[in-house]
Structure formats: structure tokens, C-alpha cells
């Protein structure tokens, strides 16, 4: 006998794995939470519900990413590589960081001369938390692909992880020389300035990013840098130089 309707719906979802059944169970548990009537067993069941949904979502995401990757670079090269990186991020967050490294390293050892494959290897080490190894490969990759802006973004991010701040900014600025609207480099610089407590410089970057996003038609995306700018402004107001 189920203790309540929410527990019953949780069992239904466990049997079907249908998202609509998850939504129904989630709704009932939320009602109980709002009413303050959840027992310890209810909370345990609710946690299991989310755990099962998380597993479903991970499997679904991998399946969708694989469908894109399976179409190959010829269909849409930009989407192909963005999808590959997204799958790598997912793998790194679900205990499969070494799989990313092994697959990317195999491609390089097979003789790939595609800059994107080299970036994937650097990203694999970066996502795994091995900044020192990522840095080694950056030093190998940049002479081979000196005009690849994304390499310099990874170079800057890796140097930041290694506390090589001066070198990090050199890499990010080089990325912007090659692509003056490279948002990844600009965000990295902004966050690094905050890390260094140079809030005035960070504030200027956030405003510049927000302005450019607005000019490019990204009304929703501009809100994030605007929020970051406001936080820097508050710090500068409370602690003027």
C-alpha cells in the first residue's frame, strides 16, 4: 500500500520512464512540500524520482549528441564541433573524463592535422581538471595552428587555472586580435579580473559584452553580463579604490 498519491506516481514513473509521468509525480511531491507534509520516506522517494530522471536525461542527451555527431562534419561543421564539446562536458561531469582523453588522444596519435581535434584533446584534459597536461598540448598546438583563435582562449583559461595570469591575458588578447568579438575570451578576462579583485576592469568588460550582445540581437543573453556588471558596481561602491 502506498502511503500517498505522490509515492504511487513515483512508482509509475519508475515503471514507464516517461517524462510526463515524472512531471505528474513531481507535481504531487511539490504540493506536499508546500503543505509541509513530507515524511522522511517521502523525501527519499522524491530524491529517487529525481535520480531516475537524471539518468534518463543523461542517456537522452548522449543519444541526441550522437545523432548529430553521426551526421559528420559535412552537414554543419560548427554544430558538429559544438556538439562534440558538449558531449565531452557531459562525460566529464558523469565520471567519464578519461574516456574523453583516450578518444581525443587516439585521434591525435592517428595523425590528425585538424586544429579542432587538437582543441578537443586540450579540452579533454581541461575538463578533467588536468591543467598542466592541457598546457603542454597548448604549447604544441599553437605553433601548428597560429591563427586559430579558440586555441588562445583555451591557452588563457589554462594559464588562469595555473595562476599564470600575465600569460593568460596575452593569450586572450591574441584571441581577440584574431576575432574581436570572441565572447569566450572576453568572459574569461572578466572573470579573471574579478578573481584578481580588479572590479573596475571587470565592470568595463561586462558592459562591453552586454552592449555587443544587444547589437547582435541577443536580448536575453545580454542580461547575464549586465547582472555581473551590477555586482562589480556594488563592490566598487562599497569599497572604492
DSSP readout, 81-101?
A: HHHHHHHHHHHHHTT-HHHHH
3-state secondary structure (DSSP) of residue 204: helix
| CA–CA dist 151, 89 (Å, integer) | 17
Tens digit of each residue's pLDDT (9 = 90 or more) over 70-95: 998 877 899 999 999 999 999 999 99
Q: How far apart are CA 118 and CA 106, in angstroms?
A: 11
- DSSP code, position 146: T
**What percent of the chain shows pLDDT beyond 70?**
99
What gap in Å lies between CA 210 and CA 212, rounded to an integer? 6
pLDDT tens digits along 112-161: 999 999 999 999 999 999 999 999 999 999 999 999 999 999 999 999 99
Of 124, 92, 93, residue with least CA distance to 108: 124
Average pLDDT, the chain: 95
Q: What is the largest CA-CA distance in the chain?
A: 68
DSSP letters, 52-92, are: HHHHHHHHHHHHHHHHHHHT-TTT-HHHHHHHHHHHHHHHH
Q: Give yes or no for residue 241 having a pLDDT over 80.
A: no
What is the pTM for the complete model shown?
A: 0.88
Q: Which residues fall within 8 angstroms of residue 228, CB to CB, at 6 or more apart?
A: 190, 202, 206
Residue 11 CB neighbours (<10 A) = 14
Query: C-alpha cell of 231?
Result: 555586482
Amino acid at each position: 500500500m502506498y502511503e500517498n498519491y505522490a509515492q504511487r506516481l513515483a512508482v509509475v514513473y519508475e515503471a514507464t520512464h516517461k517524462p510526463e509521468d515524472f512531471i505528474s509525480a513531481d507535481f504531487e511531491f511539490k504540493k506536499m512540500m508546500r503543505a509541509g507534509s513530507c515524511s522522511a520516506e517521502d523525501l527519499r522517494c522524491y530524491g529517487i524520482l529525481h535520480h531516475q530522471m537524471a539518468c534518463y536525461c543523461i542517456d537522452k542527451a548522449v543519444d541526441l549528441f550522437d545523432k548529430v555527431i553521426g551526421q559528420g562534419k559535412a552537414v554543419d561543421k560548427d554544430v558538429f564541433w559544438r556538439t562534440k564539446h558538449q558531449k565531452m562536458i557531459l562525460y566529464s561531469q558523469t565520471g567519464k573524463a578519461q574516456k574523453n582523453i583516450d578518444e581525443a588522444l587516439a585521434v591525435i596519435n592517428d595523425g590528425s592535422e585538424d586544429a579542432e581535434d587538437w582543441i578537443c584533446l586540450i579540452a579533454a584534459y581541461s575538463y578533467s581538471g588536468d591543467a598542466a597536461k592541457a598546457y603542454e598540448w597548448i604549447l604544441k598546438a599553437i605553433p601548428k595552428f597560429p591563427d586559430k583563435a579558440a586555441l588562445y582562449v583555451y591557452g588563457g583559461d589554462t594559464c588562469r587555472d595555473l595562476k599564470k595570469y600575465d600569460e593568460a591575458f596575452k593569450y586572450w588578447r591574441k584571441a581577440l586580435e584574431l576575432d574581436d568579438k570572441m565572447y569566450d575570451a572576453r568572459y574569461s578576462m572578466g572573470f579573471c579580473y574579478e578573481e584578481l579583485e580588479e572590479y573596475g576592469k571587470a565592470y568595463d568588460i561586462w558592459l562591453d559584452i552586454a552592449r555587443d550582445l544587444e547589437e547582435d540581437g541577443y536580448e536575453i543573453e545580454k542580461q547575464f553580463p549586465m547582472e555581473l556588471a551590477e555586482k562589480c558596481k556594488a563592490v566598487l561602491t562599497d569599497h572604492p579604490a
